[in-house]
Amino acid sequence: MPIVVAVDLRDQFGPARDQDPRPTCMAFAASDAHAGARPGWEPLSVEWAYYHALKRDGGPPSGGVTMAAMRATLHDDGQPAETGWPYIAQEIVNTTLWTPPAAAPLFRRDSKDCAALPPAIRACLDAGLPVLMIMSVSSRFDYGWDAEFVVAGDEPLDPARRHAVVVVGHGTRDGRPLFLIRNSWGEEWGDAGYVWLDLDYLQPRLLRASVLTEEL
């Protein structure tokens, strides 16, 4: 059965980007959601967002960042265009050399909670708002989609494998609810960086969600 698309916000975004080996999925997801909320498509600096969120969380540059720290960063620090501080694909080893350059202008944006529940996520998408989401993932998420790029079925939950993505659409296939997500593993992953998640796969893995709102 073909996918019946209800909402598809992919046209708000440019090409999917690649976080490479670094734990920067939250910075990529938030930066792309932020860029997608602005007119046209101009990628925003992931490096800047990750650096300032990591300062808030107090972790090492080899660790991820929380959604709360990222939302505070976008609200208080903002972020420049990608050219203001281009992404560093390699892991950060020498932190003394890892400092943000002077960059302007800085774009800031507010955000709000979205319940980590399928109906709430659908309502945000119906309002034209991509959803920043944290979920647990598995090997099926990594490479187990079908010919229509749908990840379905069941696998044991792995609490250690948490990942941030942007939910950009929803639809159905043979009556089953689906959610379209944008990943940060490059255009070679899935359908040019996107896959559909079946409700039965996604629902037990949903951990947290929020949406970006007005520019500040």
Encode the chain (216 residues) as per-residue pLDDT tens digits. 899 999 999 999 999 999 999 999 999 999 999 999 999 999 999 999 999 999 999 999 999 999 999 999 999 999 999 999 999 999 998 888 899 999 999 999 999 999 999 999 999 999 999 999 999 999 999 999 999 999 999 888 888 899 999 999 999 999 999 999 999 999 999 999 999 999 999 999 999 999 999 999
Contact in structure between 151 and 135 (CB atoms under 8 Å): no
Quickly count: other Cβ atoms within 10 Å of residue 14's Cβ: 13
DSSP alpha helix (H) spans, the chain: 25-36, 46-57, 67-76, 118-126, 139-143, 199-202
Q: Where are the domains of the chain?
A: 3-215
What token pair was written down for 21?
């080996």
Would the pTM of this model clear 0.95, i.e. be above it? yes
Contact in structure between 163 and 19 (CB atoms under 8 Å): no
CATH fold for the domain made of 3-215: Cathepsin B; Chain A (3.90.70)
Contact in structure between 139 and 151 (CB atoms under 8 Å): no
